Structures are given as C-alpha cells and as structure tokens.
Amino acid sequence: MVCYARQSNLLKPSGGISGVSLSCIATPAGFLFGDNTMKPCNTCLADKPETEFYIYAHRGTRRARCKLCDNAARDLRRKANLKADSAKVLAAYGVRTGVIKKEHICSNCNQEKPLHKHHEDYGKPYDVIWLCVPCHNQLHAAKRRMKHEQLS
C-alpha cells in the first residue's frame, strides 16, 4: 500500500528521518509510520523494533507490550477462563445432584436475594460461596484492585 500522506509530504514521522525506508500502515485512525525505532516492552522490558508490537486498530498506536508478551497473556487468560468455565459447569451439576446445598441468603449481606455461586478457587469447583449480585460484583472489583496493587 502506498501512503499518500508521506508521498505528498503532509505528514512526517516524528524525528523526520530521511533516506531511511519507512513503512506506513493504514489504520482506521490514520496512517501509522513504522520505522526501525526500538521501544521497550512494558512486560519483558526488552528493547524491540516497533513492528514487534501489535497496533490498536481504533487508535492507530502501538501497544506497550510486545507481541510475544501479548500472546502469552492471551494464552494465560484463555486458560484461566477455561478453568473458571469448567468450575461453573461442575458447580451447577453439584447443585442439581445435591452435593452443593443451594442457599437463599447472601453470605455477605445476609439478605434473601437471587444468589450467584462464587469460587474462591476454581480448582475446587464444589467449594462455593453464595453471594447476591451486588456483593459478588463488589468482591470481584476488590480482587481486581488488589491484583492491580500487587502489580504496581
């Protein structure tokens, strides 16, 4: 693809490098100049060429995490989701067969409400805590905050 913007010289990559072969990538947000600039990955901290970072199509900017780290994170997320899904299926089965006793009172706010089954550990599908929807959401929000604080 030819980048008309660069041809007509309306846009220049930051730093205005001349005589270096640059590639333009069209994104919905406009053209993104790809040069041989190195940038550090915020996860593995390695310096890598910009082309080793995926592009946010809607913003037209590169991600802060390199492709390798991005793919690794995606795999981890997929595995975690699979584990959570199978725990939910097993727990629903546990309720049907009576292995898990169905509760009607939220174990956090003690109110009688429609309840969710919460897993502290997806490796123990029959260990469930019964929580109403607001309490359940609150718990997960708190967990996300804790995780974030540990990372930063």
**CA dihedral (59, 21, 12, 5) positive or negative:** negative
29/85 with CB nearer Zn ion: 85
Shortest Å, Cβ 143 to Zn ion: 8
6/88 with CB nearer Zn ion: 88
Q: What angle do CA 119, 148, 71 make, to 5 degrees?
A: 85
24/136 with CB nearer Zn ion: 136
Q: Could you tell me what percentage of the chain is helix, strand and coil, using 3-state DSSP and rounding each to the nearest 5? A: 40, 25, 40
12/147 with CB nearer Zn ion: 147
Backbone angles phi, psi at 28, to 5 degrees: -55, -25
Q: What angle do CA 110, 113, 116 make, to 5 degrees?
A: 95
Shortest Å, Cβ 138 to Zn ion: 8
Shortest Å, Cβ 2 to Zn ion: 31
Shortest Å, Cβ 145 to Zn ion: 15
Q: Are 132 and 116 in contact (CB under 8 A)?
A: yes
Q: Which residues bind Zn ion (CB under 5 A)?
A: 41, 43-44, 66, 69, 106, 108-109, 118, 132, 135
Q: What is the C-alpha separation between 46 and 62, in angstroms, rounded?
A: 15
